[in-house]
Amino acid sequence: MKTAIVYYSRTGNCEYVAKEIEKEAGCDLIKLETVKPYRFLNGGRAALASEEPELVPYKFDAGQYDHIIFGLPVWASCVTPPLRTFISRNIEALHGKKFSVFLCYKGGGGDKVIAKLRDLLGIQKFEAEMILIEPAKKPDIEKTKMIKAFAGKLR
Ligand SMILES: Cc1cc2nc3c(=O)[nH]c(=O)nc-3n(C[C@H](O)[C@H](O)[C@H](O)COP(=O)(O)O)c2cc1C
What band does 1 get if pLDDT is binned at 50, 70 and 90? confident
The model's pLDDT over 13-68, given as tens digits with 9 standing for 90+, comes to 999 999 999 999 999 999 999 999 999 999 999 999 999 999 999 999 999 999 99
Q: Which of 96, 79, 13 is nearest to 44 (CA)?
A: 79
At 58-102, the pLDDT tens digits run 999 999 999 999 999 999 999 999 999 999 999 999 999 999 999
Structural domain range at position 85? 2-152
5 CB contacts (<8 Å, ≥6 apart)? 18, 21, 22, 27, 28, 29, 30, 68, 69, 70, 71
DSSP 109: S
Q: Quick check: CB of 80 below 6 Å from ligand 1?
A: no
Instruction: Give residue 125 CA to ligand 1 midpoint distance, Å.
Output: 23
Does ligand 1 have an atom closer than 6 angstroms to the CB of 74? yes
Q: Which is nearest to 67 in space by CA: 11, 141, 149, 123? A: 123
105 lines ligand 1 (CB under 6 A): yes
Q: Is the CB of 58 under 6 A from ligand 1?
A: no
The per-residue pLDDT for 57 is 98
CATH number at residue 147: 3.40.50.360
Which pLDDT score is estimated for 111? 98
Q: How many whole angstroms from 11 Cα to the centroid of ligand 1?
A: 9
Closest ligand 1 atom, CA of 14? Answer: 26
Q: What is the pLDDT of residues 100-120, one digit of tens each?
A: 999 999 999 999 999 999 999
Residue 42 Cβ inside 6 Å of ligand 1? The answer reads no
Check residue 154 and give its pLDDT: 84
Return the pLDDT at 155.
Answer: 74
Nearest CA to 122 among 85, 78, 77, 92? 92
Per cent of the chain over pLDDT 70 is: 100
The pLDDT mean for the chain works out to: 97
pLDDT score at 11: 98
Domain count, the chain: 1
Identify which of 6, 74, 102, 131 to mutate to test ligand 1's pocket (most ligand atoms within 8 A of the CB).
Answer: 74
